[in-house]
Amino acid sequence: MTPIVSIIMGSTSDLPVMEKAAQLLNDMHVPFEMNALSAHRTPEAVEEFAKNARTRGIKVIIAAAGMAAALPGVIAANTTLPVIGVPVKGSVLDGVDALYSIIQMPPGIPVATVAINGAMNAAILAIQMLALSDEKLAEAFAAYKEGLKKKIVKANEELKEVKFEYKTN
């Protein structure tokens, strides 16, 4: 199946974070690809990827990067596709440096940005974008959201059954 979402990481060290996005896309039957490209070490490959993504059938790009986090912005500068940035925790600044790098894009080069290590929300946002023109995916996503609601209701019911002993001194 031709991928419609591309997950791009600045390094394979980002894989443990990005696996959450891949798993959700897989669970929702959204075809995707995953690659490591570096804005600093392979800039020509990043530019080529971004410029050709639409013609290859990609509809949304999720780009993860840590530290200087140039990857999402470089991709956004070279494509008209929506780009979702995932700042990755990985430096002494705990990912805040990556967050600031991704959200501070110049006018005309937007990157939708999720929380630090927020790969799951990046996948959810990609699914919501795709569901605008895919009724079957919209229905599957609505069921997913209903499942989240049921998990919280169940957890709340289980909390009511927990008994605590209060101690006074």
Whole-number Å distance between alpha carbons of 9 and 106 = 22
Q: Is 94 annotated as a binding residue?
A: no
CA 122 to chain CA centroid, Å, is: 3
Q: Is 11 annotated as a binding residue?
A: yes
Amino acid at 87: P
Whole-number Å distance between alpha carbons of 24 and 93 = 28
Q: Are 11 and 123 in contact (CB under 8 A)?
A: no
Question: Residue ranges of the alpha helices (H) in the chain?
Answer: 15-27, 43-52, 71-77, 96-103, 119-131, 135-161
Enter the tokens of residue 126: 């990609």
Q: Is 14 annotated as a binding residue?
A: yes
Residues making up the annotated binding site are: 11, 14, 41
Residues making up the annotated binding site for substrate are: 11, 14, 41
